Structure 1
Amino acid sequence: MSQTEEAAPTVPPVLSARDRAETANRVLAERLDTLIPAIMREEGIDLWLLVAREYFEEPVVASMLDAENMHARRRTILIFHDPGNGQPIERLTVSRYGLGGLFAPAWNPAEQPDQWQAVADIIAARDPARIAINSSDLYQFADGMTLSQYVRLNAVLPAELRSRIVSGERLAIRWLETRTPGEMNLYPTILRTAHALIAEAFSPAVITPGVTTAEQVQWWYRDRLLQLGLDPWFHPSVGIQRQGVTGMLEGDEVIQPGDLLWTDFGITYLGLSSDTQHLAYVLKPGETDAPAGLRQGLANSNRVQDILTRHFATGRSGNEVLALARAEALAAGLDPSIYSHPIGLHGHGAGPSIGFWDNQNADPRGAGPVRPNTAWSIELTSYAAVPEWGGQRVDFRTEENAFFDGNSVRYIDGRQTRFTLIATGR
């Protein structure tokens, strides 16, 4: 990991399908072996029940499927049970089909045709004090138990066991938000791939000032990803800020010399997501750099990044981090808007948010604690009046992915501190 982004990154080799599968399965096994015992014991949960149906996988179950099992089959039911006394966590699948050897088969339909009764029998035999199911009003990641599945479960469990059901919200969030050493060994390559593709997009190979539109660059990204066999997790954005024009120009607007370009681009590769916003300046004939006022605007956003990451602390809520960072940035004369979020298995990942673009105050989604071994999109903007543009208020959006180890925040593949410069033909 590096604080400095490489000036002209190239796309690393992309793994074959088989190598990707082997990598994904190795990482999943590490996660199951190390994270599940830790989070169940820390949260005081004896049994965690997960249910998903084919093509309707809930987020946690989807993240536990091995590379050869792309979907739940019919109904996939997973059970984690802690026997106590330091014994290994049981990993069971109450399903017709196995799951890559990562979960032990625990249902024989020939002996017990009723899948739900098999679940009830397993739970009763283990007599857990607390049974977690994924139900949450606040977090979509932890609300995977559907009404129909909950009704079926309640129909087979005796009243005494039903009374022990609790929300698995914190288990689900912690499972999804925590990054393992194996994942962090992969993440720099994923970020380098995304940065290299942005560098290609913001180059004369793709953009001809006076000819190329913002929309054409967006679809260039999509075509390039198809060539590489990679997937975006959202449609790329490309926008233009221009002297004398209010707001962001997009779509069929032609890119011109003197424009400030913005892009928002993210991929999912090897099970992990990137989310990056970068800026580029289109040189006018005779220019060798962006105007000083624009350069200062990017420097201001870098300062807000530094302020924000300094306020990360284990156990501090996302709302507290937001309030502290905004207060310091405003006191320094900056004009920030902070809307950072966890990243990992999902682009907008599980865990506490740190502000929203439309809400710079405390939010229930930011009430949770910042935890160690989590990855983040340090996403924000600062606004600045640019003298060379007649004092026009310009939006300097930045987004870089970083890792919080519990003590400090480090960028996974550096951050942008200088504009990408796009030459204009003469």
Structure 2
Amino acid sequence: MKKFGPVSLLLLMFAFAAPAAAQPAALNMTEQARPKAPAVLPLREQARLRDAWLKERLDTVVPMIMREQGVDMWVLVAREYFEEPVIATMLDAESMHARRRTILVFFDPGGGKPVERFTVSRYGLGGLFAPAWEPEKQRDQWKRLAEIIAERDPKRIAINSSALTAFADGMTLSQYAEFTEALPRKYRSRVESNQTLAVRWLETRTPAEMAVYPSIVRLAHSIIAEAFSDAVIRPGKTTAADVVWWMRERVSRLGLKAWFQPSVAIIRQGAAEMIEGDALIRPGDMLWTDFGITYLGLNTDTQHLGYVLKRGERDVPAGLKAGLAANNRVRDALTSSFRAGDSGNAILARARAKAIAEGLKPSIYSHPIGFHGHGAGPAIGFWDNQEADPRGADMVRPNTAWSIELAAKLRVPEWGGQEVEFRSEDDAYFDGTSVRYLDGRQDRYHIIRGR
């Protein structure tokens, strides 16, 4: 029987209370047309759940990635209101910001012993990091850090510094100067930049998180489904901007945050570009949205399509349906191309070759997702660069979440042969073998009947 880690009863109750269809399921599962929104937890329960996740991550993910990298000490430094990306995700639910200067230290003593973790500050951090500084005995915070390092004599001291990714570039120049100045000379040469630790911490999803992540995505899908419905859109009276601000208001009323301003655009027969802003939505319009929420510290990122029926129409025109189907064939080409250990660039090239061989016109620009909407880890293409890119050079690893984001172009007979770009984005999980959509992928339009 599978054993659960140290996850709270609350976590398990919430996970099993989620709709069955919201759990990770078969590859390419279909999204529900009008999904019911899961309830948003009260703040105290959210805090308990997030702290349970954090403790489990600190107990399991940190030792794993430090040992992968052969690093025996990891030092992270942030200042109040200027939290670096990693420390920001290591603060307990009641710590809104770093205190003054927050220094976190992880030390692996080896021999199978637990990784020590403490904060060089007067106070602990949510019971997760033990305090390791008494200013009455040592007034200088940096010197106390140097004492801790000398006491443990680490061979490799990792810091977060990277020219390639902001997620691993948390050590500022002034703090690096003060840190190294305080160190005994023999330890200065042991300090190294290690961007992989930061990326691995941020990109790795745990079983506890993944038990709930599908319900977070379901919540986002429910908001989109309502936005692209007769409950919100009245053709000839509702504008694209009206729908954008309805979504913002809906998210706010739920006590959540949109991590970027939602986009809603009209794709109209005869129009060369997408139409946004105060333009009225009309019968016969195809609608597109890009929408993401943050809940329980995790993010969603979704692009869906809708259609406004014309008078006398009972369904979406066949040419538009074919465009969405072409898009999903590109998604199949991409998700079937994931290989653990391959670079994002290699997966991009393989997926494009498959799609083009099928006669499709793909544009692939997928990215990791998790603690950040555009998350840490390798990119798989960019909308403005379909070739190899330094940001896609790192390997794709198991236990990571992804926004499968891409587009396909197809000519629509009902629109006089106009070439239309069909965009999509749905969130998924890569377990090292296959990619599974967290709450399905769109294979049918949201329909506005205008009645």
TM over 0.5: yes
Q: Secondary structure at the match of 2:82?
A: coil
Q: Secondary structure at the match of 1:30?
A: helix
- 1:54-98, Cα deviation, whole Å (9 max, x unpaired): 000000000000000110000000000000111100001001222
Q: Secondary structure at the match of 1:252?
A: coil
Identical counterparts, % of pairs? 66
Q: Which residue of 2 aligns with 1:155?
A: 181
Q: Which residue of 2 aligns with 1:395?
A: 421
Report if the CA contact (8 A) 2:34-2:226 is conserved. no
Q: Which residue of 2 aligns with 1:364?
A: 390
Report if the CA contact (8 A) 1:336-1:380 is conserved. yes
Report if the CA contact (8 A) 1:210-1:256 is conserved. yes
Provide the C-alpha distance between the structure 1 equivalents of 2:236 and 2:259, rounded to a whole number of angstroms. 30
How much has 1:400 moved relative to structure 2? 0.4
How much has 1:141 moved relative to structure 2? 0.1
Q: Which amino acid aligns with 1:80?
A: F
Q: Which residue of 1 aligns with 2:431?
A: 405
Structure 2 residue ranges without an equivalent (≥5)? 1-23
- 1:32-71, Cα deviation, whole Å (9 max, x unpaired): 1110010000100010000000000000000000000110
Report if the CA contact (8 A) 1:48-1:168 is conserved. no
- 1:362-419, Cα deviation, whole Å (9 max, x unpaired): 0000000000000000000001010100111111000000000000000000010001
- 2:338 aligns with one of 306, 312, 316: 312
- 1:290-347, Cα deviation, whole Å (9 max, x unpaired): 1100000000000000110001011000000000100111111000100000000000
Provide the C-alpha distance between the structure 2 equivalents of 1:154 and 1:22, rounded to a whole number of angstroms. 37
Q: Which residue of 1 aligns with 2:202?
A: 176
How much has 1:108 moved relative to structure 2? 0.7
- 1:146-194, Cα deviation, whole Å (9 max, x unpaired): 0010010011112210101111200000000000001001101100000
How much has 1:10 moved relative to structure 2? 1.5
Q: Which residue of 1 aligns with 2:298?
A: 272
Q: Which amino acid aligns with 2:82?
A: F
How much has 1:6 moved relative to structure 2? 1.2
- 1:122-145, Cα deviation, whole Å (9 max, x unpaired): 001111110000000000000000
Report if the CA contact (8 A) 1:374-1:405 is conserved. yes
Q: Please show how residues 222-233 of structure 1 align to structure 2 within 5 Å.
A: 222-233=248-259
Report if the CA contact (8 A) 2:233-2:450 is conserved. no
Q: Which residue of 2 aligns with 1:214?
A: 240
Q: Which TM-score applies when normalising by structure 1? A: 0.99
How much has 1:247 moved relative to structure 2? 1.1
Q: Secondary structure at the match of 1:45?
A: coil
Provide the C-alpha distance between the structure 2 equivalents of 1:19 and 1:208, rounded to a whole number of angstroms. 38
- 2:145 aligns with one of 114, 119, 140: 119
Q: 1:141 and 2:167 equivalent? A: yes
Provide the C-alpha distance between the structure 1 equivalents of 2:64 and 2:57, rounded to a whole number of angstroms. 10
Provide the C-alpha distance between the structure 1 equivalents of 2:269 and 2:31, rounded to a whole number of angstroms. 28
Q: Which residue of 2 aligns with 1:65?
A: 91
Q: Which residue of 1 aligns with 2:20?
A: none
> What is the number of residues matched between the two proteins?
425
Provide the C-alpha distance between the structure 2 equivalents of 1:208 and 1:95, rounded to a whole number of angstroms. 57
Provide the C-alpha distance between the structure 2 equivalents of 1:111 and 1:380, rounded to a whole number of angstroms. 58
Q: 1:80 and 2:106 equivalent? A: yes
What RMSD in Å do the two structures reach over aligned CA positions? Answer: 0.6
Structure 1 residue ranges without an equivalent (≥5)? none
Provide the C-alpha distance between the structure 2 equivalents of 1:98 and 1:394, rounded to a whole number of angstroms. 56
Q: Secondary structure at the match of 1:264?
A: strand
Report if the CA contact (8 A) 2:122-2:132 is conserved. no
Q: Secondary structure at the match of 1:99?
A: coil
Q: Please show how residues 8-407 of structure 1 align to structure 2 within 5 Å.
A: 8-407=34-433
Report if the CA contact (8 A) 2:367-2:402 is conserved. yes
Q: Secondary structure at the match of 2:429?
A: strand
Q: Which TM-score applies when normalising by structure 2? A: 0.94
